[in-house]
Homo-oligomer: A and B are copies of this chain.
Amino acid sequence: MSPSRHPLDPLAPSEITQISSLLKKLSPDHTIHFKIINIDEPPKAQLRAYLKAERNGSPLPQLPRRASALYYHRGTSHLFKATVNVDESTVELVEQLDSHFHAQADVNEIIEMRDACLSNPKVLERIEAYKLPPHLKVICDTWPYGRDSEDQHPRYVQCYLFAEGDHPGSNHYDLPLPFSPILDMTTKELADIIQLPTGPKSELRPDAVFVPHPPKEYHHDLQSKPARTDLKPLMVHQPQGVSFSIDGHLIQWQKWRFRLGFNWREGMVLHDVTYDGRELFHRLSLSEMFVPYGDPRMPYSRKSVFDVGDIGAGVAANNLALGCDCLGVIKYFSFVIGDSNGNPVEKPNAVCMHEIDDGIGWKHTNTRTGAVSIVRSRVLVLQTIITVGNYEYVFMWHLDQAAGLHYKIQATGILSTAPIDKGVTVPFGTNVNEGVMAPFHQHVFSLRIDPNIDGDKNTLVEEDSVAMPWDDNNPYGVGYVTEKKALTSSTHSDSAPNRVHKIINPHSINPSSGHPVAYAIHSPSKQMLLAHPKSWHGRRAKICLPSFLAGDYTYQSHPSHTPDLASWAGRQDTTEDTDIVVWHSISLTHNPRTEDYPVMPCDTMTVSLKPSGFFDQNPALDVPQSTQAGNGSRLVEDEALKHAVEGQASGCKREVKL
């Protein structure tokens, strides 16, 4: 392996080209349609040995550098998986996948499908009959076809059509058309045009023509009301620079040390996370997400997207912009992925990193003496934002000074809309404008947690708070205890209001409490999948049932053919006191409100990983006290006298003595 590349460094542009060239040479009679070219992270045991040696300053083992590729012979449905040894420039393995498997869409393909759709004569004929006014043009959002039968389909794309005006920010979701073409992604031929139901039930009106309505636009150029004029700027300064240090993808901040990764599918990944030299997590990533819709009518019954597996959180990552996506003193990370021709493509500013102040860290006032002890909470933010058609998702890691990691997901962007007849309402959606219905749906996210709590022999434990029986040991009926159940073989585990999940190291004992060190998963107890488990939504996305992953090939996946976490968990491997991986699901039931349209204020969910007896006392005790001299706050009244509050004694006011 090239000594200058870390095993976890994403592929360099030259490596992507090297790999695609090798694979193209293997199929001289075909044009290769690349879907994935990605670094293969080394097998965990070898990788952990490397990472430990790196942290300890020991000699580094040699790890071969390998990559995976997934590709079609262009214009066919023949899908291949290959492994390439990058160091030796050799192809180690090629296998053709069973025809049940379909690769995800890619950016180039999406453009081709849109063009094919909008130039198809039958589609144009239908558009003509809809009688749109001349100033509007039709555009096409492509959706994964989903699944609603056992049959093996060709690889299809569902095209939802909208009309838009000239402005680059015109809100086409405000003008959904009531018919939807389906195209074969291999042949680019039209398979069908489905009339969309626009009545209260499944009524179809194939002769419907365009009916105008007052628009709802989000772009600031297109607002009828002027922008607010009373918002004064707020700026974040770090006059002595930032507290983090960076060496390539290695980041260190406030006792945290970790390596930032990135790939086409998961987007941002955190590797080898340690705090104050102690091992915490081997790998943290967004493994999958699923957005099933609750409109029961065809074709909406198929409307369900795996935005990670079907599209790719890395592929869909925004180019973050200074001051707009990130406030303060910012570090941007750019990455490179492969395109459908095997060429490297930049994802500039795909991840940003910066510090924020997050309020009070901890405080206590001794009311007898007046002594105040207070620190503020400084947090390190790593952020990436993806656009997947209408929706945006913001994904962030917040690392705090008390050794907590918080994964925050925000949904924003534009609701998926469907046409609806004037005067009609449905019980599974909200009318957000005249003729515009936003169906109920859920957003389910799967966070892959590969723990390394003081080492890799861990166990997942359910810890429930349970009332003691009212008896002689509990004579007043107020006592409660915790009951712990270790999960000893691979399985799923439900959340509950009285339950916390902990990842423990049974061999590392906290000297004060006497209990094994642990990290706890704190997550809101939310409703999981509303669709029936035996529906296609339920069968394809068992992540919506507790803690299951959807597998590698989500596009039009057939659950019987797709190995997924349900099948892996079904193996009943031993999971006690060993190297385990936890997939944690969190969901948001989203019944659109009118306030979510024409663009949605961020709705936030947080999963927190917090130490639970991992440290012998508060790990943020040594954070310096918060002082006015250091923080430079100002009184509103003194703003005009900019120097009035400078020079105040450092330290905090004493409380009134009791």
Contacts and interface: CB of A to CB of B under 8 A. Distances in A.
Interface string A444-466: 00000000000000000000011
Interface string A316-345: 001101111111111110000000000000
B639 A241 contact: yes
A572 interface: no
SS of A interface (majority) = loop
A108 to B, nearest CB: 9
B602 A201 contact: no
A622 interface: yes
Contacts of A230: 243, 254
Contact of A233 (B235, B295, B468, B631): B631
Given A218-B373, A527-B498, A628-B322, A296 B479 contact: yes
A611 B633 contact: no
Contacts of A476: 148, 296, 298, 301-302, 535-536
A92 interface: no
A468 B368 CA distance: 61
Given A627-B324, A635-B330, A359 B432 contact: no
A467 to B, nearest CB: 5
A655 interface: yes
A375 to B, nearest CB: 9
Contact of A658 (B110, B236, B474): B110
Given A593-B613, A624-B227, A497 B526 contact: yes
B599 A362 contact: yes
Contact of A236 (B236, B513, B531, B536): B236
Given A385-B363, A618-B597, A618-B598, A527 B478 contact: no
A599 B628 contact: no
A530 interface: yes
Nearest to A538: B477
A583 to B, nearest CB: 19
B228 A622 contact: yes
A506 B261 CA distance: 52
Given A231-B243, A412-B363, A480-B294, A599 B475 contact: no
A25 interface: no
Interface in A412-433: 412-414, 425, 427-428, 430-433
A242 interface: yes
Given A233-B632, A324-B372, A474-B296, A480 B428 contact: yes
Give the copy number: 2
Nearest to A525: B525
Contact of A107 (B232, B372, B374, B658): B658
Given A594-B613, A620-B601, A536 B478 contact: yes
B254 A467 contact: no
A115 B346 CA distance: 72
Most buried by B among A239, A255, A325: A325
Interface string A14-47: 0000000000000000000000000000000000
Nearest to A533: B477
A99 interface: no
A482 interface: yes
A223 interface: yes
A615 interface: yes
Contacts of A468: 296, 428
A633 B323 contact: yes
B233 A234 contact: no
Contacts of A302: 476
Interface string A500-538: 000000000010111100000000111100111011111
B536 A234 contact: no
A601 B322 contact: no
A219 to B, nearest CB: 5
Nearest to A388: B367
A634 interface: yes
A227 B515 CA distance: 28
A363 B612 contact: no
B254 A622 contact: no
B535 A627 contact: no
